[in-house]
A and B are shown apart, each in its own frame.
Chain A
Amino acid sequence: MNLVKIDKNGFKQGIDRARKEYRLFGPAKGKEGHTIRHLDTDEYPDMTYNDSVLSAKSVLFPQTEKMLYTTFDESEPDHHIMKRAQADYSPQAVVGIKPFDAKALEILHLNFDNGDYRDPYFCDALEATTLVGIAVNSPGSCDFSTSTGTGPFDESALDILLVDTGDQYYAKIITDKGQSFAETCGFEEAADEKAATDEINALKEKAENAVTSEIQYENIAEKSIVELYNAPLWDDIAFSCINCGTCTFVCPTCWCFDIQDESKGNSCTRMRNWDTCMSPLFTLHASGHNPRGEKTSRVRQRFMHKLKYFLDKYDQGIMCVGCGRCVKQCPVNIDIREVCNKLNAYEEKA
């Protein structure tokens, strides 16, 4: 790993150099607030953003993604045969991703490449992507990332970590991908290792101490699924839920999708769209039966998946990075921190 110093005055120039070889994504402000999206040739990542409504998930896992296509025209030799849709997997970089949002992509990767299956769309996109994170110096009030195994300065899922020290950035180059990106940008002025490390560590400590909210899940692993599933707390948690998809769509770790075919004339495409377990349609069987027909069972599914099933299956913590988006965006403020702590503290009555 090496440490590089970037003068903020030269940052835009570096980004312009990167633009020639990478498709760039980053935080940009719209009327809805910041989102992480593709940057036009005259746009620069807004590195000062506090929060983005949606995470960087959509860069690698778009809300609507074309998977396959075919033609019904029988004069074509390959009619009715589904072929993989063309997509651009040339190098791309997300500049200004939050460290815990990058961690979330790692969680998505667990699911999309789990040994048995490899999702080519997500994995190919991930391979093409360089993640240039920005350390969060001032965490928001709903940030609880330090208690989910990541944090405002977590570099474990990044290729480069940028740390804003006022008039300059320190760049911690973590991987080879990161190295190539830094070279392309011309970010090569070595920093004084000792001084930089001290400064970064001080900012890191300050940021981590500023994370005031936390969750506990250390007891959840030992509890039985059935015990938690049958716990008499779900009706109360679910009461106010309106069953919209906000929590799942803004979540950087929610990966579920629905496959749809659309055709016009002789051409047909198969696409996938983000789906949400909050919708009754998510589990509706062709027979008309719905195993999760009740609101409570859907709300329970979301939390059990994130906090119990995932934990048991992968033994890598919970499926939540503590970004706080669902807490903030939920129209009725159902708070995963409260739910998690309730599950952690739950004892079955004898």
Chain B
Amino acid sequence: MDKYTEKIRSIAGNLLKDGKVDKVIGYKQGSLPMAANPFAARTQEQAEELVFNSTCVMNLANYLTDTTEKIAVVAKGCDSRNIVNHIVENKIKRDQVYIIGVPCSGMVDKRKITSEFETDLTEFAENGDEITVKSLEKEKVIQKKDYLRDCCLTCIKPNPVIWDELAGEFVEEKKMENRFASVEKIENMNPDERYSYFTELTRTCIRCYGCRNACPLCYCPTCFVDESGPQWVGKGQNETDIQTFHFLRAFHCAGRCTDCGACEEACPMGIKVREFTKKLVKDSSELFDWETGLDLSKRPPLDTYSPEDPDDFIK
């Protein structure tokens, strides 16, 4: 991915030099081996700090919400779909963003990798599809394809949907047998099993709201869980209050979620938050033939009405 880094730096450097944008939002290497963190370069010099590798997991569309500056942004397939959604929902104007599109071969799952080691990781070096990971106790060479994030394994758009400049050649779109296998597994359970499955899923939630805050869709000025007059949800560690948060947050993402995985990435407790939203991606696809963020001229399905909308649930 080094060639991406080089290209991104040169595009970003030129944009900043020519004053075409106020800042370039991309990723910078953090203080830990597997942390490429959101970063805003404002000068040509800072543009040299930009990187791109398989740990660029946060969704950068999240940093565009309601900004007034002229911004260039590094966008993988999923980020670009969220930028489309942002433009459609009037959170940013198309002519305000200069999109540096990055065809993406998937991001790796930090948890899958760390689970192979007893101690903290100290080094993470990529060489094509091979990754060398070192920890305090051992070194291991792994294949990237074996450690991709779940959301990357079922990604339908690795290439950017819209862009102003590309940082590399398009990658081949994968053929998938069934991207909703994880949802179907749950659908095949009986109601009691499903309820205990989700109860167990959110049992360890500490309500840090990392999932919500990492999500580009969650831009409400006041989230329903923070509302105090009226207060919709209790604030304690009550099981039902926690479930209510996850359930309603997910529903607010119906027809808008791009399955970028930022929510799961942010969760300190490793909760598979996508188990909620993935069902909605499936429903949107089946009921409305809809995939989020592919077309600037279409509004999300729950935002529009068509006489053809399915209506057999109502009588």
Contact = CB atoms under 8 A, between A and B. Distances in A.
- The answer to whether any beta carbons of A and B sit under 8 Å apart in the complex is yes
A279 B226 contact: yes
Nearest to B269: A32
A276 B208 contact: yes
28 contacts: A32-B204, A32-B269, A50-B120, A53-B269, A63-B206, A63-B237, A64-B236, A64-B238, A138-B136, A141-B121, A142-B32, A240-B63, A242-B266, A244-B208, A245-B206, A246-B266, A249-B206, A260-B236, A274-B206, A279-B209, A281-B226, A327-B31, A331-B58, A331-B210, A331-B268, A332-B30, A333-B30, A334-B37
B285 interface: no
B31 to A, nearest CB: 4
A145 to B, nearest CB: 14
A329 B268 contact: yes
Interface string B189-228: 0000000000000001011111011100000000000100
B199 to A, nearest CB: 14
B204 A271 contact: no
B35 A333 contact: yes
Interface string B248-275: 0000000000000000011011110000
Interface in A299-350: 327-329, 331-335, 337-338
B158 interface: no
Given A141-B122, A281-B226, A333-B35, A246 B210 contact: yes
Contact of B120 (A62, A142, A239): A142
Interface string B146-174: 00000000000000000000000000000
A175 to B, nearest CB: 32
Interface string A138-150: 1011100000000
Question: Which of A243, A246, A250, A334 is packed against the most chain B CB atoms within 10 Å?
Answer: A246
Given A240-B37, A337-B31, A138 B269 contact: no
B213 A242 contact: yes
Interface of A: 30-33, 35, 50-51, 53-54, 62-64, 138, 140-142, 239-240, 242-246, 249-250, 258, 260, 262, 271, 273-274, 276, 279-281, 327-329, 331-335, 337-338
B235 A260 contact: yes
A54 B35 CA distance: 20
A262 B32 contact: no
B234 A244 contact: no
B73 interface: no
Contact of B213 (A142, A243, A327, A334): A243
Contact of A31 (B37, B119, B204): B204
B139 to A, nearest CB: 14
A273 B58 contact: no
A33 to B, nearest CB: 7
B32 A50 contact: no
A276 B235 CA distance: 13
A282 B237 CA distance: 18
A143 to B, nearest CB: 9
B40 interface: yes
Contacts of A244: 208-210, 212-214, 266
Nearest to A66: B236
Nearest to A281: B226
Contacts of B35: 332-333
Given A140-B120, A239-B38, A331 B30 contact: no
B37 A332 contact: yes
Given A32-B204, A242-B266, 17 more contacts: A50-B118, A54-B206, A63-B237, A64-B236, A141-B122, A239-B39, A242-B58, A242-B62, A244-B212, A245-B208, A273-B236, A273-B237, A274-B206, A276-B208, A329-B268, A334-B37, A337-B31
A32 B111 CA distance: 10
Closest 5 CB pairs of A and B: A244-B210, A333-B30, A331-B266, A141-B120, A245-B208
Contacts, number: 115
A50 B37 contact: no
B270 A31 contact: yes
A159 to B, nearest CB: 28
B38 A64 contact: no
A280 B220 CA distance: 13
B7 to A, nearest CB: 22
A50 B209 contact: no
A53 B268 contact: yes
Question: Which of B32, B214, B234, B269 is packed against the most chain A CB atoms within 10 Å?
Answer: B269
Interface in B104-121: 118-121
A245 B209 contact: yes
B236 A239 contact: no
Contacts of A245: 206-210
A239 B40 contact: yes
A263 to B, nearest CB: 11
Contacts of B63: 239-240
Given A138-B119, A141-B121, A335-B30, A240 B39 contact: yes
Contacts of A276: 208
Given A142-B120, A240-B37, A245-B208, A32 B270 contact: yes
A141 B269 contact: no
Contacts of A281: 226
Contacts of B120: 50-51, 140-142, 328
A327 B271 CA distance: 19
